[in-house]
Amino acid sequence: MDPASLETLRAVGTHGGVTAAAAVLHLTPSAVSQQLARLQREVGVALTERVGRGLRLTPAGQALAAAAVDVAVALERARAATDAYLARPEGTVRVSSFQSAAQMFLPGLLTRVAAHGGITLECTDEDVAQDDFAALTDRMDIVVAHRPDRSHDWAAGGVPVHVVPLLREPLDVAVPVGHRLAGRVDLRPEDLVDEGWIAVREGFPVATVLAAVATRSGSAPRITHRINDFHVAEAMVAAGHGIALLPRYTSGREPGVRLVPLAGVRAGRRIDALVRVDRAERLVVRHVLAELTALAAEIDGRSREPGEASVQPGG
Between 3.40.50.980, 1.10.10.60, 1.10.240.10, 1.10.10.10, what CATH number should domain 3-83 receive?
1.10.10.10
pLDDT for 309 = 47
CATH number of 91-167+269-303: 3.40.190.10
pLDDT for 143 = 97
Between 3.40.190.10, 3.40.50.450, 3.30.70.1060, 3.90.1150.10, what CATH number should domain 169-268 receive?
3.40.190.10
Instruction: Output the CA angle 269-273-274, nearest 5 degrees.
Output: 115
Residue 191 DSSP class: G
pLDDT for 314 = 40
Domains 3-83 and 91-167+269-303 fall in the same CATH topology: no
Tell me how far apart the alpha carbons of residues 80 and 89 are, in angstroms, rounded to a whole number: 9
Tell me the per-residue pLDDT of 242-262, one tens digit each, with 9 for 90 and over.
999 999 998 988 899 999 999
Question: Phi and psi at residue 191, in whole multiples of 5°?
Answer: -70, -15
Is the CB of residue 170 less than 8 Å from the CB of residue 261?
yes
Tell me how far apart the alpha carbons of residues 182 and 184 are, in angstroms, rounded to a whole number: 6
Closest CA to 251 of 55, 103, 80, 29: 103
Q: How many of the other CB atoms lie within 10 Å of CB of 138? A: 19
Buried b (16+ CB within 10 A) or exposed e, 244-280: bbbbbbbbeebeebbbbebeebebbbbbbbbbbbbbb
* Per-domain residue ranges of the chain: 3-83, 91-167+269-303, 169-268
pTM to 2 decimal places: 0.77
Instruction: Locate the DSSP E strands across 111-221.
Output: 119-125, 142-148, 161-176, 196-199
Q: How many of the other CB atoms lie within 10 Å of CB of 287? A: 19
Tell me the per-residue pLDDT of 76-120, one tens digit each, with 9 for 90 and over.
777 777 776 665 778 999 999 999 999 999 999 999 999 988 899
Tell me how far apart the alpha carbons of residues 226 and 80 are, in angstroms, rounded to a whole number: 45
Instruction: Output the CA angle 95-100-103, nearest 5 degrees.
Output: 65
Is the CB of residue 230 less than 8 Å from the CB of residue 247?
yes
Give pLDDT tens digits along the chain (315 positions): 788 888 888 888 887 788 888 888 888 888 888 888 888 888 888 888 888 777 788 888 888 888 888 888 788 777 777 776 665 778 999 999 999 999 999 999 999 999 988 899 999 999 888 888 998 998 899 999 998 887 667 866 567 899 999 999 999 999 999 999 999 999 999 999 999 999 999 888 888 889 988 999 999 999 999 999 999 999 999 999 999 999 999 898 889 999 999 998 888 999 999 999 989 999 999 999 999 999 999 998 876 654 444 444 443
In sequence order, the 6+-apart residues with CB closer than 8 A to the CB of 1 are 39, 42, 43, 71
SS3 48: strand
> What is the secondary structure of 117-135 as a DSSP string?
-SEEEEEEE----GGGTGG
